[in-house]
Protein backbone atom coordinates (compact mmCIF):
# COMPACT_ATOMS: atom_id res chain seq x y z
CA UNK A 1 0.00 0.00 0.00
CA UNK A 2 1.41 3.37 -0.98
CA UNK A 3 1.93 6.08 1.61
CA UNK A 4 -0.62 8.37 -0.11
CA UNK A 5 -3.27 5.68 0.05
CA UNK A 6 -2.57 5.17 3.77
CA UNK A 7 -2.92 8.88 4.44
CA UNK A 8 -6.22 8.97 2.49
CA UNK A 9 -7.60 6.04 4.52
CA UNK A 10 -6.69 7.76 7.76
CA UNK A 11 -8.33 11.01 6.62
CA UNK A 12 -11.51 9.16 5.58
CA UNK A 13 -11.69 7.49 8.97
CA UNK A 14 -11.20 10.82 10.74
CA UNK A 15 -14.02 12.42 8.70
CA UNK A 16 -16.46 9.71 9.70
CA UNK A 17 -15.78 10.48 13.36
CA UNK A 18 -15.11 8.02 16.09
CA UNK A 19 -17.30 4.98 16.34
CA UNK A 20 -18.91 4.20 19.64
CA UNK A 21 -17.68 1.13 21.41
CA UNK A 22 -20.25 -1.27 22.79
CA UNK A 23 -19.38 -3.95 25.28
CA UNK A 24 -21.46 -7.07 25.06
CA UNK A 25 -22.86 -8.06 28.41
CA UNK A 26 -25.61 -10.02 30.03
CA UNK A 27 -28.88 -8.16 30.19
CA UNK A 28 -29.66 -6.52 33.48
CA UNK A 29 -31.33 -8.86 35.94
CA UNK A 30 -34.91 -7.65 36.44
CA UNK A 31 -34.92 -9.17 39.90
CA UNK A 32 -35.95 -12.70 39.02
CA UNK A 33 -32.55 -14.28 39.60
CA UNK A 34 -29.89 -15.26 37.12
CA UNK A 35 -30.99 -14.88 33.48
CA UNK A 36 -31.29 -18.10 31.51
CA UNK A 37 -27.84 -19.13 30.36
CA UNK A 38 -26.28 -16.32 32.38
CA UNK A 39 -23.59 -16.43 34.98
CA UNK A 40 -24.19 -16.13 38.66
CA UNK A 41 -22.98 -12.96 40.32
CA UNK A 42 -21.45 -15.01 43.11
CA UNK A 43 -18.10 -16.63 42.43
CA UNK A 44 -17.85 -20.01 44.06
CA UNK A 45 -14.55 -21.58 45.02
CA UNK A 46 -13.86 -24.95 46.56
CA UNK A 47 -11.71 -24.41 49.62
CA UNK A 48 -10.88 -28.14 49.72
CA UNK A 49 -9.38 -27.94 46.20
CA UNK A 50 -7.05 -25.13 47.27
CA UNK A 51 -6.02 -26.97 50.43
CA UNK A 52 -5.42 -30.20 48.47
CA UNK A 53 -3.27 -28.32 45.95
CA UNK A 54 -1.28 -26.74 48.77
CA UNK A 55 -0.76 -30.08 50.48
CA UNK A 56 0.39 -31.58 47.18
CA UNK A 57 2.98 -28.87 46.65
CA UNK A 58 4.15 -29.14 50.24
CA UNK A 59 4.37 -32.92 49.77
CA UNK A 60 7.06 -32.35 47.16
CA UNK A 61 9.38 -31.46 50.04
CA UNK A 62 9.63 -35.14 51.04
CA UNK A 63 11.10 -36.15 47.68
CA UNK A 64 13.36 -33.12 47.70
CA UNK A 65 14.54 -34.02 51.20
CA UNK A 66 15.44 -37.52 50.00
CA UNK A 67 17.32 -36.05 47.06
CA UNK A 68 19.28 -33.77 49.41
CA UNK A 69 20.18 -36.76 51.57
CA UNK A 70 21.46 -38.67 48.52
CA UNK A 71 23.40 -35.59 47.44
CA UNK A 72 25.01 -35.37 50.89
CA UNK A 73 25.78 -39.10 50.92
CA UNK A 74 27.42 -38.87 47.50
CA UNK A 75 29.58 -35.99 48.69
CA UNK A 76 30.66 -37.65 51.94
CA UNK A 77 33.78 -39.39 50.61
CA UNK A 78 35.30 -36.39 48.88
CA UNK A 79 37.47 -35.32 51.80
CA UNK A 80 40.15 -32.65 51.35
CA UNK A 81 39.92 -30.93 47.97
CA UNK A 82 43.32 -29.24 48.14
CA UNK A 83 45.55 -29.76 45.14
CA UNK A 84 42.96 -31.37 42.91
CA UNK A 85 41.18 -29.00 40.53
CA UNK A 86 38.43 -31.46 39.63
CA UNK A 87 37.69 -32.03 43.34
CA UNK A 88 37.48 -28.26 43.88
CA UNK A 89 35.13 -27.92 40.91
CA UNK A 90 33.03 -30.83 42.16
CA UNK A 91 32.80 -29.23 45.64
CA UNK A 92 31.68 -25.91 44.09
CA UNK A 93 29.06 -27.73 42.05
CA UNK A 94 27.88 -29.62 45.13
CA UNK A 95 27.58 -26.43 47.18
CA UNK A 96 25.67 -24.74 44.36
CA UNK A 97 23.21 -27.62 43.96
CA UNK A 98 22.76 -28.05 47.70
CA UNK A 99 21.73 -24.40 47.97
CA UNK A 100 19.51 -24.62 44.88
CA UNK A 101 17.72 -27.79 45.99
CA UNK A 102 17.31 -26.31 49.49
CA UNK A 103 15.73 -23.22 47.96
CA UNK A 104 13.38 -25.40 45.90
CA UNK A 105 12.32 -27.16 49.10
CA UNK A 106 11.69 -23.81 50.78
CA UNK A 107 9.76 -22.58 47.76
CA UNK A 108 7.54 -25.69 47.83
CA UNK A 109 6.84 -25.15 51.52
CA UNK A 110 5.95 -21.48 51.12
CA UNK A 111 3.97 -21.90 47.91
CA UNK A 112 2.07 -24.84 49.39
CA UNK A 113 1.19 -22.76 52.42
CA UNK A 114 0.11 -19.91 50.20
CA UNK A 115 -2.17 -22.21 48.20
CA UNK A 116 -3.66 -23.65 51.38
CA UNK A 117 -4.35 -20.15 52.70
CA UNK A 118 -5.74 -19.01 49.34
CA UNK A 119 -8.89 -21.01 49.94
CA UNK A 120 -9.39 -19.05 53.12
CA UNK A 121 -8.22 -15.73 51.70
CA UNK A 122 -10.20 -15.52 48.47
CA UNK A 123 -11.92 -12.53 49.95
CA UNK A 124 -8.62 -10.64 49.80
CA UNK A 125 -8.16 -8.22 46.91
CA UNK A 126 -6.35 -9.64 43.90
CA UNK A 127 -3.55 -7.12 44.37
CA UNK A 128 -2.82 -8.48 47.85
CA UNK A 129 -2.60 -12.09 46.65
CA UNK A 130 -0.50 -11.03 43.64
CA UNK A 131 1.85 -9.13 45.96
CA UNK A 132 2.31 -12.27 48.08
CA UNK A 133 3.08 -14.37 44.99
CA UNK A 134 5.47 -11.71 43.65
CA UNK A 135 7.31 -11.60 46.99
CA UNK A 136 7.70 -15.38 46.85
CA UNK A 137 8.97 -15.19 43.26
CA UNK A 138 11.50 -12.50 44.23
CA UNK A 139 12.72 -14.45 47.25
CA UNK A 140 13.38 -17.60 45.22
CA UNK A 141 14.89 -16.22 42.04
CA UNK A 142 16.96 -18.80 40.26
CA UNK A 143 20.64 -18.65 41.06
CA UNK A 144 23.33 -17.87 38.54
CA UNK A 145 25.13 -20.88 37.09
CA UNK A 146 28.55 -21.45 38.69
CA UNK A 147 29.81 -24.64 37.07
CA UNK A 148 31.78 -24.76 33.87
CA UNK A 149 32.91 -21.16 33.92
CA UNK A 150 36.61 -20.36 33.58
CA UNK A 151 38.14 -18.60 36.54
CA UNK A 152 40.92 -16.06 36.52
CA UNK A 153 44.25 -17.22 37.98
Question: 48 vs 125, which has greater pLDDT?
Answer: 48
Does residue 37 lie within any of the structural domains? no
Q: 138 in the Ramachandran plot: left (φ > 0), alpha (ψ -120 to 50) or beta?
A: alpha
* Mean pLDDT value across residues 135-147: 73
Specify the pLDDT at position 65: 87
* Domain of 66, in residue numbers: 47-75+85-139
Does residue 9 lie within any of the structural domains? no
Does residue 25 lie within any of the structural domains? no
Does residue 111 lie within any of the structural domains? yes
Does residue 122 lie within any of the structural domains? yes
pLDDT digits (tens, 9 = 90+) for 42-94: 656 677 888 888 889 998 988 888 888 888 888 777 667 677 777 788 888 88
Let me know: does 99 contact 22? Beta carbons within 8 Å.
Answer: no
Say whether 16 sits in a helix, a strand or coil: helix
What is the count of structural domains for the chain?
1
pLDDT band at 37 (very low <50, low <70, confident <90, very high): very low
CA 29 – CA 25 distance, rounded (Å)? 11
Does residue 13 lie within any of the structural domains? no
Q: What is the largest CA-CA distance in the chain?
A: 84
- Backbone angles phi and psi of 52, in degrees to 5: -60, -40
Q: Which of 7, 149, 45, 20 is nearest to 92 (CA)?
A: 149
pLDDT at residue 22 tops 60: no
pLDDT at residue 112 tops 80: yes
Amino acid sequence: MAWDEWERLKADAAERGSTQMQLNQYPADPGGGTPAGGASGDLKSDKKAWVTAGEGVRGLKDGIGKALTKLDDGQAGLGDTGGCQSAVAQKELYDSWKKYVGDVSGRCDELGGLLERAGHDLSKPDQTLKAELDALKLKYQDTEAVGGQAKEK
